[in-house]
Amino acid sequence: MNFMQRLATGVATLGAVLALSGCERGAPFERPPVDSVQSGYRGTGMLQVYNPRILEPQIEANQPPAALPPAPSEGPKASQVYQNVKVLGHLSTAEFVRHMTAITAWVAPNEGCVYCHNPANFAEDSKYTKVVARRMIQMTQHINVDWQQHVSNTGVTCYTCHRGQPVPSKIWFTAAPQKKGADFIGNKNAQNTADQESVKGASLPYDHYTEYFKEAKAIRVAGDTALPTGNRSSIQQGEFTYGLMMHMSDSLGVNCTYCHNSRSFGDWSQSPPQRTTAWYGIRMVRDLNLEYMEDLTSVFPAERKGVLGDVAKVNCATCHQGAYKPLYGAKMAKDHPELTTLVQVVAGAGAGGGAGDAKAVKAAADAVAGAKPAGR
């Protein structure tokens, strides 16, 4: 290093020292303190750490929408007035239009009704988005009825995932296999790849979604005996598990002790109740991907699929989006009882007509939209 380089380094060091001393003397730049919430005995590390700079925009982004006023249940049913209503035909026409108005605001506020419907014939299923939306309504009902071990009585609506967007912002596709060239590169095990969002940039395997949210691979890190007696879990399996844990931690905005006891991470008897809720959540996500999302593979067009031709699938972040409970525990289902009951598809509701449906739906929707939303 020559004289000029040494001089430049010295000047830079002096500037840094002066900047730091300026901070100590009350300069305007000052980071807010980090908050912590204790959830176990002192000295055990059982606490959650929250950064106000990160938490503030998270809270703002997780505000629930205002609910539309309730609609009367009296009067003719939707299936008697409109055609090709296969899932919500048991609702009154007022309740049906209220739901259509809400789902438009939840999923396609800019595109409007025509995102799913042919404006010349609302009844037909020519748009794939309408077929998908019908299946997603069934999926929402399934979550609220059959997965209360995870969602409790809080429930979910389309807004929980979509947040006013036609496609939820947090989805995933199966990762393409590693290109090995002449097969002398070796197997990277889908890791050591920079900028992988699924593991927040860590060197862990980045396609743990397929392992646990599509396939039912064992989630293991350590055995329960001193020697590997009967424990065939490998370090590689442990790395996939850590990748999953990174995803869950980031999706919920929490650290490890939200679900685990720092004294013994693997001991269920010492774990917080959130661990059981998460156990059901993993299985719920897998169920939704296999029974609902992949069931729509033939419906989605090529431009909506991944590089391997698979459909978009859900994970923890799809609903949670950085909050320990989606929308910080807002009770979404209470204002939409039509999403808390399983209804069989009416096979005989044939498509036809439609021009009258479009006019009737639009007139009723305008009337509903004119009412003030109910407060929460």
Q: Where are the domains of the chain?
A: 32-61, 66-165+335-370, 170-178+188-225+232-320
Which structure tokens are listed for 134? 């019908």
Q: Compute the distance between CA of residue 258 and CA of residue 249 in angstroms, rounded to an integer.
A: 9
Domain 170-178+188-225+232-320 in the same topology as domain 66-165+335-370: yes
pLDDT, the chain, mean: 84
The answer to whether 376 and 67 have CB atoms below 8 angstroms apart is yes
- What is residue 174's predicted lDDT score, i.e. its pLDDT? 92
How confident is the model over 343-357, as pLDDT tens digits?
Answer: 777 665 544 344 445
The answer to whether 311 and 305 have CB atoms below 8 angstroms apart is yes
Mean pLDDT for the stretch of residues 74-81: 95
Q: Compute the distance between CA of residue 284 and CA of residue 272 in angstroms, rounded to an integer.
A: 20
Q: Which is higher by pLDDT, 318 or 176?
A: 318
Residue 84 pLDDT greater than 90, yes or no: yes
> Any idea which of 210-214, 234-238, 282-286 has the lowest mean pLDDT?
234-238
Confidence band for 20, pLDDT divided at 50, 70 and 90:
low
Residue 216 pLDDT greater than 90, yes or no: yes
Q: Compute the distance between CA of residue 54 and CA of residue 280 in angstroms, rounded to an integer.
A: 28
- What is residue 308's predicted lDDT score, i.e. its pLDDT? 94
- What is residue 358's predicted lDDT score, i.e. its pLDDT? 47
Q: Does domain 170-178+188-225+232-320 have CATH number 1.10.468.10?
A: yes
**Total residues belonging to the chain:** 376
Residue 317 pLDDT greater than 50, yes or no: yes
How confident is the model over 323-342, as pLDDT tens digits?
Answer: 999 999 999 999 999 999 98
How confident is the model over 254-288, as pLDDT tens digits?
Answer: 999 999 998 888 889 999 999 999 999 999 999 99
Highest CATH level, class, for 66-165+335-370: mainly alpha
pTM recorded for the entire structure: 0.82
Confidence band for 67, pLDDT divided at 50, 70 and 90:
very high
Mean pLDDT for the stretch of residues 159-174: 96
Per mean pLDDT, which of 59-68, 178-187, 198-207, 260-269 is the most reliable? 59-68
Q: Compute the distance between CA of residue 83 and CA of residue 352 in angstroms, rounded to an integer.
A: 7
